[in-house]
Structure 1
């Protein structure tokens, strides 16, 4: 007689905010890994095949995404994630799905965030 153990599939998070937390944590980990890789390339003799100016831009961009993700995770732990930092109204879930680090609703978002 053979006994087979069946593991139940992991339960999907019930709350949309839990899904956003998972997305943000995954993004933070991915961007941190990317920044580490870019930093290693920057220290190589020929910058790992990157043009130095492009590499600097990629490093700056990765740092900005890490900071935005960390800020979103902090807002989540404070209970203010999903609430517009300007008008205090809820940010629609669709906007958070597209831009999980959004701190403003589309109406209040700075012009640079809308382009």
Structure 2
């Protein structure tokens, strides 16, 4: 008697696919956030936001979208997960914490950014 393994639809089990999913979700969330902030900026009274705060939040959302898009592009190119400075692999723990990371922790510290 042969027992076939039971396959179910689950979240991707490969680290790269999990990170891709995280990045895609982040992209969608930040895009929605930017849309909201843009609408708030056009409303009388800016939906209760101080114009300066609204500008800061908008800039932050745009940067998050750009960082996420660049990480997804690196995945497509096959360079994702490699430090742009030393070319060593970025540890999985760092990528889980900062999925759009371009540098390993050591190089990030030396860059001062």
TM-score higher than 0.5: yes
Ranges of 4+ aligned residues in structure 1 off by more than 4 Å: none
Q: Which residue of 1 aligns with 2:112?
A: 111
Whole-angstrom CA distance in 2 between matches of 1:101 and 1:87:
17
Whole-angstrom CA distance in 1 between matches of 2:35 and 2:9:
31
- Structure in which a larger fraction of residues adopt helix: 2
Q: Mind listing any 5+ residue stretches in structure 2 that lack a counterpart?
A: 1-6
User: Given the alignment of the two structures, is residue 15 of structure 1 paired with residue 11 of structure 2, yes or no?
Assistant: no
Deviation string 1:12-38 (CA, Å, 9 cap, x unpaired) is: 313100000000000000000000000
Match of 2:68, SS state, is: helix
Q: Mind listing any 5+ residue stretches in structure 1 that lack a counterpart?
A: 1-7
Q: Which residue of 1 aligns with 2:3?
A: none
Instruction: Report the TM-score, using the length of structure 1 for normalisation.
Output: 0.88
Give aligned pairs, total. 105
Q: Which residue of 2 aligns with 1:82?
A: 81
Whole-angstrom CA distance in 1 between matches of 2:74 and 2:88:
15
